[in-house]
Amino acid sequence: MTSVTGSTDDSLTELLAAYISVWNERDPHARQTLGTEVFTPDAYYVDPNASAQGRPAIDAYVAGWQEQFPGCVFVLGEVSGHHEVARFGWSFGPPGGPPAGTGGDVVVIERGRLSRIYGFFD
């Protein structure tokens, strides 16, 4: 298994940090711009609550989540990657406070961007 300590994995950690930043970016234009760097055009996202195909649908889902949880942010947890896939933990809640929720996602990466995001809640 590839660890995230080596320089090879810096780009993976950066990509996943950018993905988390999408969830935390509440300026629509900045969020959509970041989304073009993070997601392939036809990226597919699914979690227990919803699925979304393509950047605009994913962005709309993220925006809806942000409206629902105005005081919460996501924090990236442990990352591990191999081949073209990665899994990582995350938590969300008020900044600096105890997590209101945690989960783990598995993603598929195509040429440096996320093409599939399979989200799970703990």
Site residues for a second copy per CB under 8 A: 1-2, 46-48, 51, 80, 82-85, 87, 104, 106, 108, 118, 120-121
DSSP code for 22: H
Question: CB of residue 87 vs a second copy: minimum separation in angstroms?
Answer: 5
Beta bridge partners of 105: 88, 119
**59, 31 Cβ separation under 8 angstroms:** yes
Question: CB of residue 83 vs a second copy: minimum separation in angstroms?
Answer: 5
CA–CA distance, 57 with 76 (Å, rounded to integer) = 22
Between 22 and 86, CB nearer to a second copy: 86
Between 34 and 52, CB nearer to a second copy: 52
Residue 74 has phi, psi (to 5 degrees) of -95, 145
Question: CB of residue 51 vs a second copy: minimum separation in angstroms?
Answer: 6
Between 35 and 103, CB nearer to a second copy: 103
Q: Is 85 helix (H, G, I), strand (E, B) or coil?
A: strand
Question: CB of residue 17 vs a second copy: minimum separation in angstroms?
Answer: 19
Between 65 and 118, CB nearer to a second copy: 118
Provide the edge-to-edge strand list for the sheet that holds 113-121. Answer: 51-53, 39-46, 113-121, 101-110, 85-93, 73-82
